[in-house]
Amino acid sequence: MAKSGIAAVVLCVCLCGLAARGVDVNHVAKALPEFKLKDPAGAEHAQGEVQERGALVIVTIPNVKHSVPQDQWARWVTKKGWKKDGPRLVFIEDLSQIESAKVKETALAKLKDRFEPGKNPLLLLDPAGEVRKAFGVNVDETVVVLVNKKGAVVKSWEGEPSIEAAKEIVEAVDKLGN
């Protein structure tokens, strides 16, 4: 094969590799999708209720792998405290990514034990992963999204939790609440 032919093959393989990686990138929607989801106590909550004061929405999975990031985000972003009439902290838990019935049962029991109606965080159960999909969050990812009172996505954060990101989030939430 000529050098130009080899170069073309190498370029094609590289471009295919980049395209495959691009598929895995989260493309968070520009707005909070419409939904009606239940909390662990069985009360239904709609997207309009979630966005009425603005919200910091954490889309995740209630499993062992994601429990540490969930706890870190919750602890770090609530450390300063939240204004009673300010934006809400909401976890949307994608149950569709839990394959084992036993693990799902355990996760639901833990969520129910931890849930306190009327207090942050509001836990919402996404049984079929439809809200996660509509939001543009990839499978097996935890994404933090700040939504204003109109439901528009103001900012999003991906990856591992960090103190720096938490500080940035708290500042953005404070600005949103004003």
Are 149 and 54 within 8 A, CB to CB?
yes
Mean pLDDT for the stretch of residues 97-116: 87
Q: What is the mean pLDDT of the chain?
A: 77
Q: What is the largest CA-CA distance in the chain?
A: 70
163: enclosing H helix or E strand: helix 163-177
pLDDT of res. 33: 93
Domain ranges, ordered by start, for the chain: 27-177
Q: Is 11 helix (H, G, I), strand (E, B) or coil?
A: helix
The domain at 27-177 falls in which architecture? Answer: 3-Layer(aba) Sandwich (3.40)
Burial class (CB in 10 A: 0-12, 13-18, 19+), 119: exposed
pLDDT classification of 34: cutoffs 50, 70, 90 = very high
* pLDDT band, very low/low/confident/very high, at 20 (cuts 50, 70, 90): very low
**Average pLDDT value for residue range 8-16:** 33
Coil, strand or helix at 155: strand
Q: Locate 144 and state its tokens.
A: 């933090």
Q: In the prediction, which pLDDT does 10 show?
A: 31
pLDDT in the model for residue 32: 92
Range from 27-31, 41-45, 54-58, 68-72 that averages highest in pLDDT: 41-45
146 DSSP assignment: E
Question: Is the predicted pLDDT of residue 25 greater than 60, yes or no?
Answer: no
Max avg pLDDT among 19-23, 79-83, 128-132, 159-163 = 128-132
- Strand pairing of 88-94 and 55-60? parallel
Average pLDDT estimate for 58-82: 72
What are the tens digits of pLDDT across the range 141-166?
888 888 999 999 988 887 777 777 77
What are φ and ψ of residue 4, in 5° steps? -65, -35
Residues 6+ apart with CB under 8 A from 23: none
Query: Both ends of the chain: CA-CA distance in Å?
Result: 65
